């Protein structure tokens, strides 16, 4: 077992950021940690690393108790921060060397490791350029590289693909898969369900400071299988129509996202006419029925969208 987080509570004044959070990670797993804004993902990660103290519960990393003072734990973890933390006026190479030196790596060791890390993050040709001349995607990749220099057996990535171009994004996803193939254990936090679907061997869904579901993609989808999702797009969504839908027998769940309703109904029940009835006099833009995917699991369990911003 690489990591055990047991019933952890963490308060920031009046905010209960972690509320009985528990999760376990085994050697070689790629864990996807999904949750809406403010769910407590970053707080959980910072507690695991020992950057902030917990109020209650226990955290064990590689069999060691996390009390915030154990430097050995810190050395075993590569932490890719949600906010990019790089020195803009230094070159990519100097950034890699600097972060490696924080882990006590010697000059020769650093020199030998830089080309390996540069290959993983695909920055071989640009290492001597100053970071301020990098694109957003290159900075993200370097941010990951800095966390890999000391060859940590556990890598924790907190939203490593925010605000980058699709090429860098797919490069990062490939790197995650490659690192996993080489035996690293990885915790990957993202707002992008399709990324988690692509890389994770197991998924934790977090909301309001605790884990509300976990399992493989297939297991999670199976939780709402037997359901069909009917998506109805209108010009203007309304809570009134939502309550009309919820009052129909057989409607299990309704999520209203902007102009789109996602309606979960048991498969095989002829209910479309009743649903359309609830939309009487509301002009419909489109209707679509489909099998549930991870996004539907998430919506059904949390009733929330994963991202604040409107989908493009
Ligand atoms: N240092 C802090 N001081 C006070 N409140 C905090 C602090 N850090 C986090 N919080 C609060 O704790 C809760 C959980 O925040 P956290 O950043 O862990 O969520 P998150 O899941 O990482 O969200 P996001 O997806 O937006 O990154 C939020 O309500 C947040 O405002
Ligand atoms: Mg966060």
Contact criterion met (CB below 8 Å) for 215 and 205: no
Residue nearest (by alpha carbon) to ligand 1 atom 17: 42
pTM of the model: 0.82
Q: Are residues 206 and 295 in the same domain?
A: no
Q: Are residues 60 and 127 in the same domain?
A: yes
Q: Are residues 123 and 211 in the same domain?
A: yes
Q: CB within 6 Å of ligand 1 — which residues?
A: 12, 15, 17, 35, 37-43, 82
Rounded to whole angstroms, the Cα distance separating 229 from 224 reads: 10
Residues 6+ apart with CB under 8 A from 34: 189, 190, 191, 193, 196, 203, 204, 205, 206, 294, 298, 306
Predicted pLDDT of residue 306: 59
More confident residue, 84 or 226: 84
Q: Are residues 168 and 279 in the same domain?
A: no
CATH number at residue 16: 3.40.50.300
Tokens of 147: 């966390």
Residue nearest (by alpha carbon) to ligand 1 atom 2: 12
Q: Cα–chain-centroid distance for residue 262?
A: 22
* Best CA proximity match to 218, nearest among 202, 229, 204: 202
Tell me if 310 is assigned to some domain.
Answer: no
pLDDT tens-place string over residues 252-268: 889 998 899 999 888 77
Tokens of 172: 């990062």
Q: Are residues 250 and 211 in the same domain?
A: no
Boundaries of domain holding 266: 226-302
> What is the domain count for the chain?
2
pLDDT at 309 over 50: no
Contact criterion met (CB below 8 Å) for 59 and 47: yes
User: CA geometry: angle at 307 spanning 200 and 45, to 5°?
Assistant: 55
Q: Give residues whose Cβ lies within 5 Å of ion ligand 2.
A: 41-42, 82
Burial of 302 (0-12, 13-18, 19+ CB in 10 A): buried
Q: Which ligand is nearest to the CA of 51?
A: 1
Tell me if 86 is assigned to some domain.
Answer: yes
Mutate to test the pocket of ligand 1, among 38, 212, 302 (most ligand atoms within 8 A of CB): 38
pLDDT tens-place string over residues 110-166: 999 999 999 999 999 999 999 999 998 999 999 999 999 999 999 999 999 888 888
pLDDT tens-place string over residues 239-298: 999 999 999 988 988 999 889 999 988 877 778 889 999 998 899 999 998 777 788 788
pLDDT at 310 over 60: no
Contact criterion met (CB below 8 Å) for 154 and 179: no
Tell me if 138 is assigned to some domain.
Answer: yes
Partners of residue 266 on adjacent β-strands: 227
Beta-sheet pairing, 253-257 with 260-266: antiparallel
Contact criterion met (CB below 8 Å) for 278 and 244: yes
Q: Are residues 97 and 159 in the same domain?
A: yes
């Amino acid at each position: 077992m690489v990591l055990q987080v047991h019933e952890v509570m963490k308060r920031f004044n009046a905010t209960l950021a972690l509320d009985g959070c528990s999760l376990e990670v085994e050697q070689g797993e790629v864990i996807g940690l999904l949750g809406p804004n403010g769910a407590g993902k970053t707080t959980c990660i910072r507690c695991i690393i020992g950057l902030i103290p917990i109020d209650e519960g226990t955290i064990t990393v590689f069999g060691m108790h996390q009390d915030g003072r154990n430097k050995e734990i810190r050395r075993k973890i590569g932490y890719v921060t949600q906010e990019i933390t790089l020195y803009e006026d230094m070159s990519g190479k100097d950034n890699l060397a600097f972060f490696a030196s924080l882990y006590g790596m010697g000059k020769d060791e650093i020199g030998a490791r830089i080309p390996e890390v540069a290959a993983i993050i695909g920055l071989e040709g640009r290492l001597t350029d100053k970071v301020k001349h990098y694109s957003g995607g290159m900075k993200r990749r370097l941010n990951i590289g800095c966390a890999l220099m000391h060859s940590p057996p556990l890598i924790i990535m907190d939203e490593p693909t925010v605000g980058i171009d699709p090429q860098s994004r797919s490069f990062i996803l490939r790197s995650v898969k490659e690192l996993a193939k080489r035996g690293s254990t990885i915790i990957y936090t993202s707002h992008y369900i399709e990324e988690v679907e692509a890389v994770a061997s197991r998924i934790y869904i977090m909301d309001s400071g605790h884990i509300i579901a976990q399992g493989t993609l297939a297991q999670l989808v199976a939780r709402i299988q037997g359901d069909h999702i009917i998506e109805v797009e209108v010009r203007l969504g309304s809570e009134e129509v939502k309550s009309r839908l919820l009052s129909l027998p057989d409607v299990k769940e309704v999520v209203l996202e902007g102009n789109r309703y996602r309606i979960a109904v048991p498969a095989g029940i002829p209910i479309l006419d009743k649903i359309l009835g609830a939309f009487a006099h509301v002009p419909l833009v489109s209707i679509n029925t489909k099998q549930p995917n991870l996004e539907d699991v998430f919506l059904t369990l949390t009733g929330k969208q994963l991202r604040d911003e409107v989908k493009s």
